[in-house]
């Protein structure tokens, strides 16, 4: 773990007026629970980063939407929404966190540390959002938007509707929103010679299943997820 917040400021590209906001942004609730066990509930809430994450989520959404509209003024709402959904996903935000090694700055409790909290994708993504929220409170939207562009600029620039079609992520998020477990993917069979195989995969979730096929297992899983989304939409 690194405790040098000035190093983190440098990689983010923002110098905080109130450094305590950045400190809060990198503080997981597990750290607060272990290090401030007797703290009043309100004090404990103000020490961890969940509220900043909530704020940062909205700021990132707006900054990404604004950037996409500027880059692709002729695309329709559906394509822009698809790209934005991909860019603000846990996977993309976690990659942004990896790019600045945000995991090493995190303040987490011992239990979270032991279970690899510094490398958990959701935790990294949440921390990135919290940092953006902290920048917004510290210096306003323009500064926060600049940080989003620095952290995610290449992803935003390279985004296309075709590259943003991640049906597996969409399915997982839809199931999570319904408080259901993530789907499981099972390889049913593979047909054809080694150089020209077709894979058949089944996606199974609580209350349903669907199937897909493709020239790779990943492609077959993606098609199974797409079929699952169609099934859930019809229901």
Active site residues: 57, 129
Q: How many helices (H) and strands (E) does the chain have?
A: 12, 3
How many Å apart are CA 27 and CA 207, to the nearest integer?
37
Residues 108, 111, 113, 117: what is their CA dihedral angle, to the nearest 10 degrees?
-80
How many Å apart are CA 210 and CA 230, to the nearest integer?
10
Distances (CA, A) of 170 to 23, 25, 150, 166: 32, 27, 26, 6
CB of 232 closer than 8 Å to CB of 206: no
DSSP 8-state symbol, 182: P
Residue matched to tokens 């923002």: 14
SS3 content of the chain, % helix, strand, coil (to 5): 65, 10, 25
The two three-digit tokens of residue 152, written as one number: 């995610």
Residues 6+ away with beta carbon under 8 Å from 23: 5, 107
């Amino acid at each position: 773990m690194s405790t040098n917040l000035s190093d983190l400021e440098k990689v983010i590209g923002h110098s905080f007026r109130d450094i305590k906001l950045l400190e809060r942004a990198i503080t997981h609730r597990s750290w607060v629970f272990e290090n401030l066990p007797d703290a009043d509930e309100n004090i404990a809430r103000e020490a961890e980063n969940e509220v900043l994450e909530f704020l940062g989520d909205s700021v990132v959404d707006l900054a990404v939407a604004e950037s996409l509209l500027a880059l692709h003024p002729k695309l329709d709402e559906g394509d822009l929404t698809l790209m934005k959904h991909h860019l603000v996903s846990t996977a993309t935000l976690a990659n942004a966190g990896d790019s600045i090694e945000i995991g090493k700055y995190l303040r987490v409790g011992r239990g979270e540390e032991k279970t690899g909290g510094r490398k958990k994708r959701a935790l990294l993504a949440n921390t990135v959002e919290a940092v953006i929220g902290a920048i917004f409170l510290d210096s306003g939207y323009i500064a926060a938007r600049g940080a989003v562009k620095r952290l995610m600029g290449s992803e935003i620039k390279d985004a296309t509707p075709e590259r943003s079609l991640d049906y597996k992520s969409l399915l997982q998020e839809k199931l999570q929103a319904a408080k259901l477990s993530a789907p499981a993917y099972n390889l049913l069979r593979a047909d054809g010679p080694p150089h020209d195989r077709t894979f058949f995969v089944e996606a199974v979730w609580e209350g349903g299943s669907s199937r897909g096929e493709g020239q790779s297992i990943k492609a077959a899983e993606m098609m199974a997820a797409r079929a699952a989304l169609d099934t859930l939409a019809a229901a």
